[in-house]
Structure formats: structure tokens, C-alpha cells
Amino acid sequence: MLSKHGRTFFLIGFISFLQIVPVRSQTPSYYHYSTSDGLASSTVFEIIQTRDGFIWFATLNGASRFDGTHFTTLRTKDGLNSNATISLVEGTNGELYIGTYERGVNVLRNGRIENYCSEIDGKSFATSYLLLIHSGKDKQTLYAYRKAGAINVLTETTEGGTFHYSVSVYPAYVNKLERLPDGNVVALTPAGLFNLNNGALSKLHIDGLPDASVYCLTSGDDGSYFIGAKGMIYKIKDNKLIRRYEIPHSVDNGENNEPVEMLRDRADNLWFSVLKKGFFLIPSGSNDIIDIGSRLGLQNTLVNNFLEDNEGNIWISTYGKGVYCLNNLYLKSYSEHDGLSSNSVYAIAKDRSGGLLIGTFAGLNILEKGRISRIKRNSSQMVTDNIFAIKTIGDDVYVCGSFGGNGIESISYKELKLHLFVRSSFCKTRDGVYLFGNWLNSMSVQRGFNFEKKGLSLIYIHGDSANINRVNDIVEDIKGNIWIGTSLGLCKLSGLSDKAGKADWKKTLFPYDPVLNSKVVSVIQVDDNDIWFAGDRGIAHYNLGNDSVASYTTVAGYDLSSSTSLASDSRNRIWIGNMKGLYLLDGRSVKHLNVQTGLPSDEVYSLLYDRGSNTLYAGTSNGISALDITSFDNEVPPPIDVKIISVSAGDSVYTNYERLLFEPEQHNVYIQFKALSYSSPGSVRYRYNLNGEWAETDHDFLDFVSLENGKYDLQILAKSQNSDWGKPYNLTFTVKPRFNETIWYKLGILTILVIVSGSVVAWRLKMKNKQIQKELELTERINELKHQALSAMMNPHFIFNSLNSVQYLINCQRNEEANDYIAMMAKLIRKNLDTAGSGFILLSEEIDRLKLYLDLEKLRFQERFSYEIIAGNDLEIGSIMIPNMIIQPFVENTLWHGIINSGSEGLITVSFSFQDVDIDSVLCKSLIIKVTDNGIGLEEAKKNTKEDHTSKGIEIIEERLKLLSTKLQLPQPIVFEDLSSRSTDSHGTEVIISLPPPLYRII
């Protein structure tokens, strides 16, 4: 055990067999909780997770709630009928029902424990199991029962009505009640499965299922379910037996083979326990039965219950040995317990056949098909030396270690040829040159694989002489450069061959780089361009394309000093072994793994990436771990949220955290909170912000002492290892001031000194304000009268223009058209008279009047033009009001000065739309009115117009818009644009009228 919670680590070996046989496993990564950690009892009958995220345990000595680090236990002193709690279930509204062994059922509701039901028909009843069924939105039914006893039915409605009665199933014997995926309740009995309906049992017929005692049931996610029977596990779907698993005698030793409990997790793995024989796993898609319980020392233990929590951890409750939480199952480990020669793993390599060679402080090991074997020198003598490095080339394995002698010792293991020699590091180049690293600042270069002086070249790395400098790693890159990591820094060697003279060898050192000028222990090539290095001061990489170097001592706040090893995965991400754990560098983001997340030790010595299985092997000071990268990438830790546990101020404890108000003497405020993380509870960190100042803490409480009076806004947020920060919890509280701290006290003193002068000033200001108010009201009234007068001027102007049109028709002897024109004009004048007194009219009325006017002009000009009026989809013309009579003068101007003079058939378009317009640096939703024609254009029209001519109607409109918007600094409200300025193919004029919110209204 490595910690207070007895954390151990392991690898589950998934070995496939044609028949179902128990498979040897390694000890899983887990937390162990018992009474020494605060659990009420080491005998735990049931585990549930409530919707607020807490884990609850029904134990022999009370009901315990767990938040990841602390247990809170409820017992008879808190209101329980009995300390022997045996079953738990959560109700519709978050209430918790607690079944006691001999005294019925309690309910925990709104923080208080009550007796829910302890007697039926005057008789007390005992409980082994609880099952809650939601019978519609207004009703829930709780079944409380024991094996071979009556079933007590406790029904509750939302109106508060409760109905309690017992159902006798004698002579039937009910092992357990469960709910099927289709919602039906079934009884698990010695004679098979029975439907429970209205208190009566009826046989559930399953095709292919023999009549056998059924002990447990768990549901699948496709409508299927599994049942545990004596010696067998059956999978059923659509009332048909579709699969069976036999529990072999090697699991139960022939004594018993009764499954006690089962769980199918979200990854479709099947967990089950056997009576007093621990628990087992059938992985998804496999027939293997993996004995996990024995690796936890539970091979003779009764496992009562399983739970998969919201994070995917698997919880196991036991009789007498507490509870276990199997966490972060993507990590699996081997140790001396599994056969390693030593837990200190310094070198890892993979041979051609898939075996994993593991070099430790005390020898050489090989992992094959889930089993570790020791490499022997001969039939009786193990390799027990300290291993520094291992490299495999074909069937040849080169092992650097502290072996006796100066020669090369070759041994065989199956088809492998192992070469053992005393050197610190080794490399064989693509040209067949052997490079041997030494301890005295040198590297041997030799064509033959031997240490003979003939043909031997010696290269000094730093300087030209021997000194204490260990060569830690040697790597050849894709361009033939040799990279040498030493205790004094990095060296790049170019032009190396066994035939070249020393004068042709080019050495490059990196004296100005803080990482590469210190101890470098690991070198890897990631792709065609990048070489990565790890060492005492961090990591670095060299780009072969542009010969640039980048060094990193910290990344994303993580200190990368004391890095020991490197590996690159299939996505070219960099894995960094470090004396503080394992880091994954993905661009600029970093993830960190350590003891808290499942590694056997924070000290990582060596790394190896296996591309075939997408697995990273990490050698540590406490064994070797295998990290399933696919599972790791899929298991993204969700952000965690903060929950307030309690707030106390002075001697008072508060349960309602809304609008907290503390008395002046309650200036010491203590706040306890929690963010739930069961995978890595020790890694949770918090940030809090009190009135604008952020700080971090590892504690789950805040103790504010001697707070000054005032209002405080507190934000608390949390994160677990490798997760993002969660949502902040906002808590507001106010500390009342003492009387001599109140503003009233200070104002009272000041009032005595300034009461007379203040009164005079206030009176004069009041008189001045009244005068200003009267002037403002008078100005507003004058503006309103000006607006009405200007609006009234529009009608004579229109009549004048219209009479000109009638006169023209009569002079042209078009009397019938003149009569029609006069009739239509009368209708239009009537509309103008109806709205003459209105400053604003509905947009729909303005459009109707505009259509009437354009129809008049079409009659006059014998259909020499057409028109269209377009309103945007987001406009409700019946609910928008605009200033009266502001569009017709522009349409008239367009017609007379643009269309008539063009000599061709014209088109007038009037459009209405909403647009955002910047007014005083504020975006305002303005009504945009555009009058567009295809006439001669603005410039040509000016040539046909007197220089001093200005449309009276347009002047009136501009004046009205100014009066209506005296409180705004508006941009130019009316814009004229000659369309020929846009392109040579365009002609005509466009008038744009912008009406911000004060100039239009929505009713």
C-alpha cells in the first residue's frame, strides 16, 4: 500500500481463449476506504450515487456520505431507526430512502431524517433490499423486502398520500426484485424469473433458459439484460437466451458458484461477484473471465455490490473489508508482486515477436502474454545487474548495464540474441557503425561489434580530453547526424564514419541554450524535422529544416525540470517522463499524470511507445505502467463544479445561502465547500475571487477573519487534474456595520455643521430647478407647435402640385382623365385632411397614400412609368409609425426630375427595412427608407434645374426631422446618391432616409 487509502496499481491482461477460463490479471489501480478513513463500517451492503454527485454507503454501523475525501455518517442519534443500514435508493425529488435491517425504512428529506415506515398493520418488518419504481409523474412505489419474506409495498403520491401494505408470495422464495429494461418488475427466484404485477407473481418464459435459481440481474443498453444463475451467466434479449457464460470450477473451487451481484458498465464490460470468492470481469467482446478480486486480496471475500459512478470509476463494497474504487482504468501496472526483478525500471524495449523487455535495477525481464519472466545467463543464474539501456535491432538485443568485465557477453532467449556489455549507452548506425557511450566524456566508434583496440576510434565529447561526463543517450537522425546526450550537455556530431578521420568529424555544442548546455538524458526523433531532448532543466527540440532550437523549462504552468525520458505517439505528441510524473505535450497544452491519477510512482525513469497497440509504457520507481492511449484520449475529465457544504459566521451556521446578512459581531466567516472528484480526489484545486482579487488554494474551506463591514461577492471554482476549470459558484453576503461605522453616524456629525447652509443651498437649487423645468417644458411645447405648423404646410404644397397636374390634363383636352384624376385627388386630399393634425401616422397608411399618389401620376403620364413598394420581412407595417408626409415629396421629385426627363419607361422603387446605424458610438436599429429610380440621375437633373431651386417639400421634411430629434446628434438623415457613380452601366438616383428610434415608433 502506497498511501493512506491503500492505493495500488495494476494491469488487467486481456488474453483471448476459445473457452471461458479464468485469466491471470495484475493488481488494478484503486483506492481502498475503511473505518480508518472515516467509513462507518468495513461491512458495506450497498453503494449509490445520488444526483447531486455524492456517494452513499449502507453499512452495518450507519449510512455514510462520501465527497472524495471526507465521510459524513448518519446514525440513530441523527434520527435513524437503526444503525444497521442495508439498502439505499433515491426518490423522485432527491430524497434518500434508507432501509434498516430490522426497523423498517427512514427517509432523508431536506437535511432531516424521518421515520418513513417501520410498521405495517401494527407489525414491524425487516429489510434487505429496496427497489423504487416511478409510477408516472405523480406516484412512486417503494418495495422493501427480504429474501424468503413478504414484499412490503410503500406507495406515495405527490399530494402527500401514502399507502403501505404487504404482499405474501408464499410458497415462492424471492431472491431479489429487479426492473427490466422495459420497465417491468421481475422477481428473481429459485425457479427462475417471475413477473410481479399487482402483488401477484407470474412465470416469465424465456426461450432457451432452463429453470434455475436466479440471484442477480443487470441491464444492457440495447434492451438486453444479464442474469446470474448457479454456475452460469445468461444474456437475454426479447425473451430469448442469446448468450451464456459458464463460471468454471477454478473460480469457485467446486464449493459454490452462486453469483451475488452483477454490473454492466458503460463500456459494456460485465463485472460479477461470486459468493465469498471475490469478483471477476468479462471484458466487452470477450469470453475471458478475469479474476481481479484475488489481486486485491479479496479471493475469499463476499463482494456485496457494484457501482459505476459519473466518472466511470467502478466501486466495490465488501463484507468486512470496506469499499474499493477502481479508478482511471486506462492505466495498468506491473510490479515485483507480478514477477519483476525490481520495481525500479530504467529501460524498456520491444522485441520483434512483441515481447516487452524490461531492464530494472536488479536484472532483465520479459513480459509475454501477460506474464513476466526473468532472463537467465544460464539454466540457473539470473541476470541481476543494474540495466541502463536496451535497444533492439532485428533479433539482436543490446543491453547496457553494470555487468562484470569489459567484454561482451552473449546469451540466447528463444529466438532472441542478447548482448550484455558494460557501457552507459549504445547506438548502431544505418551504415553498420557501432557507437558505445562511456563515463569519461567519450564515445567509442567501431565497425565490428567488439571492444578490440584495433579499428577503434575514440571521440571526446566536451573538449579534447577525458573527464567525468557520462554519455546518457546516442541517437542517429534521418540525415545521419549523431546526437549525444551527456551529463555536461548535448553534442551534435556530423560526418561520422569508421573510415573518416577525426578531422572530418564536426562537433556542435550548444553553450548558450539553458536546457542543452546542462544534463541531457534522452533523445528521440519525432518526424523528419524535429529532434527532441529531455534533461535536468527541461526539454528542447531542434528543427533539422532550419537548424533552430527551442527550449522549454515550463509549459502551461508545469515545471519540466528533472525530465528523464521521451516518447512520441502516433499523433506526434510528446510524452515526457519526469521525476514529478508523466506529462503529455500536445501543442501548447499539457496533461499531467502522477500517483493521484494512477501511476505507481511520481518518479518516471523510462518510456516506450508501442504503435501497434497504441500503448505507452512508463518505467517508474515502483514498477512499470501501461497506458492505453485510445482509452486515455476518450476519457476526457469533465469540469467539476463547486458545492457549498456549510457557511458559518460567528456562532451561527447557515443552510440557506441566499442573501446572507451577518450582524456586526459576525465578522469571522467560515465557508466549507467541495468539488467532487473520485478519480483523482487529491488533485482538486480551487480558485476564489473575493471582490475582484483572485487566489488559489488546495483547501476546501475559506476562513475570513475580521472582515470589514460591507457587501462581499465571492466566486469559487475548481478543477481536477487535466480538466478545465468548472463553473464558478457565486455567493454574496453582507456584514452589517457597527453604529459608529454607519454612514448615518458620519452624516449626523456633518449635518450638525452644515444644516443651515445646506438648507439654503437646497432651497436655491430647488428654485433654480423649477425655473429650468419650466423653460424646458416651454421649449418642448414650442417645438411641438412648430412641428404641427410645418406638417400643415405640406397639404397646400401637395394641392398646388396636384392642381398643376389637373390643369395640364385639361389643357391637353384629356377631360375624362382629368375627371378621374380629380376624383382620385379628392380621395387623396381626404386622406391628407384626416392625418393633417397628426405628427406621426402608421407606415401602412403612408404606403396606401403613396400608392394613391403614384396611381394619380401614372394616370397623368399615361403609364409612362411603373412603381413597386417593398417592405422587409421583419417589418410590421401596421404597428410602425413614422413622421407624417415625409416620403411623397421625394417620390414627386424623382418623377418630375428623373423619370419624365429620361424619355424612356421609368421604374420607381420605394423600400423599407431595418438596419443598425452608429449614432453617438451606439448601434441603433434604424428604419431605412429608400426611393430609387432609373431616370437621368442626379447630375443630369441639376443641369435642367435652376441653380437656386430647392424643393420646398424637401426643405420642410428636413426641418421636421431636425425638430423631432433635437436631443440626438444624428448623422445626415437624408442622403442623395447618383447611381452612375457606382458603375458606368447604372443610371438613376437613390434617396435614403434614415429614421432612428426617436423618429419612428412601434405600437
Domains of the chain with bracketed CATH: 44-168 (2.130.10.10), 334-571 (2.130.10.10), 642-738 (2.60.40.10), 774-1002 (3.30.565.10)
* Residue 374 φ/ψ region, left for φ over 0, alpha for ψ in the -120 to 50 degree band, beta for the rest: beta
What per-residue confidence (pLDDT) applies to 805? Answer: 73
d(C-alpha 224, C-alpha 236), whole Å:
6
Instruction: Report the alpha-carbon distance of residue 324 to residue 301 in Å, rounded.
Output: 13
Residue 253: predicted pLDDT: 52
745 sits in which H/E element: helix 743-811
Rounded Cα gap, residues 145 and 183, in angstroms: 19
In angstroms, the CA 360 to CA 386 distance is 6
SS3 844: helix
CA atoms within 13 A on the CB side of 197: 8
| pTM of structure | 0.68
Please choose, from the candidates 582, 563, 584, the residue with its C-alpha nearest in 3D space to the C-alpha of residue 574.
Answer: 584
Strand partners, 891: none
Q: Give the per-residue pLDDT at 9.
A: 32
pLDDT of residue 14: 29
CA distance 551 to 533: 9
**pLDDT for the residue numbered 16:** 28
C-alpha cell at 240: 430469448
DSSP letters for 111-128 = TEEEEEESEETTEE---S
The pLDDT of residue 791:
53
* pLDDT beneath 50, residues of the chain: 1-24, 254
**b/e string for 557-580 if b means 16 or more Cβ within 10 A?**
ebebbbbbbbbbbeeebbbbbbeb
Amino acid code (one letter) for 95:
E
- The pLDDT of residue 950: 55
